[in-house]
């Protein structure tokens, strides 16, 4: 190779560079020249056959430097160009309307539970939980419902192992568990929300699986009047300040006296309508003064301690509050149903 030839090669290189318009092409061209079998690489290898090796080497180096110099410059140029192109294509138009972010809605039953929990916490209650798979001991025995007691029938439930382990038929076993933990020494103020199970024919108002929120207060001076006052606060919180409450005598083996707690119908205000079945009143929980036998069995001396307990059906509360007329609404997976009660914008 002589100087003339080197010059020619360099010219060719310059020309070729001029036609390159993107980075990929540029890199391909580098491979073509400087890759293993590249043209410049081959020239370099030719040194072994050159007569004047020094001269040859010098020329090849000039060619190579020429290539690299243009390559670097071109690379910088193309990179800048591509960045500019990218920035332009990604330009954000801040005047365009925003894309809506789809959010979920709280489950209406969950919302009711939280509402009740918050209310009771504001009254100084703790929220506790108990197992859904329960022992007969807590679900019945310690609640003054010994084996063979006729009141067991109404809550006949799902037994899992013989007659000892079952799906709890109410949240009342958490009363027994909490009292046993209190060891007959500590006053108690708890609510326990959770699932319960009963053998039941499912229809618009019944489900074999539903939720309750249990309440238990044990102290040295707790009376039926305190229960009435508490119920009044709950009812007004749920259904408005003009809600009137009343107690009707009832029977539960674990409370004495026992009551059904009613609210005045928020719909017809006592006139009579389908919601209150023309009575003007709606029953929303069972309650009563904790039976001395229960206190005793759970380690509290009934001559010192007194208490009251209540159990609300949560679905029932939610149905009344939100005007839902089928309990199955809570358990199917139609998300639109939660959406209906969500005040936030879609």
User: Closer to ligand PHE at the Cβ: 71 or 138?
Assistant: 138
| Residue 180, CA atoms < 13 Å, CB-side half-sphere | 11
To the nearest whole angstrom, how small is the minimum distance from the Cβ of residue 141 to ligand PHE?
14
To the nearest whole angstrom, how small is the minimum distance from the Cβ of residue 196 to ligand PHE?
7
User: Closer to ligand PHE at the Cβ: 56 or 252?
Assistant: 252
User: Closer to ligand PHE at the Cβ: 112 or 212?
Assistant: 212
Q: Which stretch binds ligand PHE (CB under 6 A): 3-11, 219-227, 239-247, 309-317?
A: 309-317
245 binds ligand PHE (CB under 6 A): no
| Residue 344, CA atoms < 13 Å, CB-side half-sphere | 10
125 binds ligand PHE (CB under 6 A): no
Q: Which tokens sit at 218?
A: 């044990």
State the DSSP H helix or E strand holding residue 189, giving kind and residue range, or none if neither.
Answer: strand 188-197
Which DSSP category does 143 fall into? G
Give the residue from 232, 281, 224 showing the smallest Cα distance to 258. Answer: 224
Residue recorded with tokens 């073509």: 32
The answer for residues whose C-beta is within 8 angstroms of residue 281's C-beta and 6 or more apart is 246, 262, 263, 264, 265, 270
Contacting ligand PHE (CB under 6 A), which of 112, 157, 178, 255?
Answer: 255
231 binds ligand PHE (CB under 6 A): no
309 binds ligand PHE (CB under 6 A): yes
| Residue 131, CA atoms < 13 Å, CB-side half-sphere | 11
| Interacting residues with ligand PHE between 208 and 227 (CB under 6 A) | 214
To the nearest whole angstrom, how small is the minimum distance from the Cβ of residue 97 to ligand PHE?
52
Size of the site for ligand PHE (CB under 6 A): 11
| Interacting residues with ligand PHE between 268 and 297 (CB under 6 A) | 286-288
CA dihedral 219, 113, 134, 190 (to 10 degrees): -10
By residue count, the chain amounts to 346
To the nearest whole angstrom, how small is the minimum distance from the Cβ of residue 302 to ligand PHE?
16
Measured CA to CA, the distance from residue 113 to residue 213 in angstroms comes to 8
Contacting ligand PHE (CB under 6 A), which of 197, 252, 281, 305?
Answer: 252
Contacting ligand PHE (CB under 6 A), which of 310, 314, 320, 327?
Answer: 310
Which DSSP category does 205 fall into? S
Q: Which stretch binds ligand PHE (CB under 6 A): 160-168, 235-243, 306-314, 328-336?
A: 306-314
Residue number closest to ligand PHE, CB atom: 311
Give the residue from 89, 91, 92 showing the smallest Cα distance to 81. Answer: 89
To the nearest whole angstrom, how small is the minimum distance from the Cβ of residue 170 to ligand PHE?
3
CB-CB contact of 255 with 289 (8 Å): yes
User: Closer to ligand PHE at the Cβ: 12 or 200?
Assistant: 200
311 binds ligand PHE (CB under 6 A): yes
170 binds ligand PHE (CB under 6 A): yes
234 binds ligand PHE (CB under 6 A): no
Q: Which tokens sit at 241?
A: 């300040």
Which phi and psi (to 5°) does residue 165 adopt? -115, 135
To the nearest whole angstrom, how small is the minimum distance from the Cβ of residue 283 to ligand PHE?
11
139 binds ligand PHE (CB under 6 A): no
To the nearest whole angstrom, how small is the minimum distance from the Cβ of residue 313 to ligand PHE?
8
DSSP for 243-267, written as a single string: --EEEEEEEETTEEEEEEEEEE-TT
**Beta bridge mates, 60:** none
Residues that bind ligand PHE (CB under 6 A): 170, 172, 214, 252, 255, 286-288, 309-311
């Amino acid at each position: 190779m002589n100087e003339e030839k080197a010059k020619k090669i360099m010219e060719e290189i310059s020309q070729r560079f001029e036609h390159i318009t993107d980075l990929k092409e540029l890199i391909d061209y580098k491979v073509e020249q400087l890759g293993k079998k590249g043209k410049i690489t081959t020239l370099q290898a030719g040194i072994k056959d050159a007569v004047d090796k020094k001269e040859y080497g010098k020329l090849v180096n000039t060619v190579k430097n020429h290539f690299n110099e243009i390559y670097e410059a071109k690379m910088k140029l193309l990179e800048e160009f591509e960045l500019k192109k990218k920035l332009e294509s990604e330009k954000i138009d801040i005047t365009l309307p925003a894309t809506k972010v789809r959010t979920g809605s709280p489950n209406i039953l969950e919302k009711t539970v939280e509402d009740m929990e918050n209310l009771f916490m504001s009254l100084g209650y703790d929220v506790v939980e108990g197992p859904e798979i329960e022992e007969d001991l807590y679900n019945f025995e310690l609640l003054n419902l010994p084996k063979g007691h006729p009141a067991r029938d109404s809550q006949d439930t799902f037994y899992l192992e013989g007659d000892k382990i079952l799906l709890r038929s109410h949240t009342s076993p958490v009363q027994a568990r909490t009292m046993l933990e209190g060891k007959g020494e500590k006053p108690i103020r708890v609510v326990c929300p959770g699932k319960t199970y009963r053998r039941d024919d499912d229809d618009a108002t019944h489900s074999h699986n539903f939720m309750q929120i249990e309440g238990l207060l044990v102290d040295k001076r707790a009376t039926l009047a305190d229960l009435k006052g508490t119920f009044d606060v709950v009812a007004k919180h749920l259904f408005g300040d003009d809600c009137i409450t009343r107690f009707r005598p009832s029977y539960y083996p674990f409370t004495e006296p026992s009551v059904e707690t009613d609210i005045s119908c928020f719909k017809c205000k006592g006139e009579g309508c389908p919601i209150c079945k023309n009575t003007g009143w709606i029953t929303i929980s069972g309650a009563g003064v904790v039976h001395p036998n229960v206190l005793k069995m759970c380690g509290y001396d009934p001559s010192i301690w007194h208490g009251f307990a209540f159990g609300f059906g949560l679905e029932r509360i939610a149905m009344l509050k939100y005007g839902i007329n089928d309990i199955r609404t809570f358990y199917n997976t139609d998300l639109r149903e939660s959406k209906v009660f969500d005040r936030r914008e879609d």
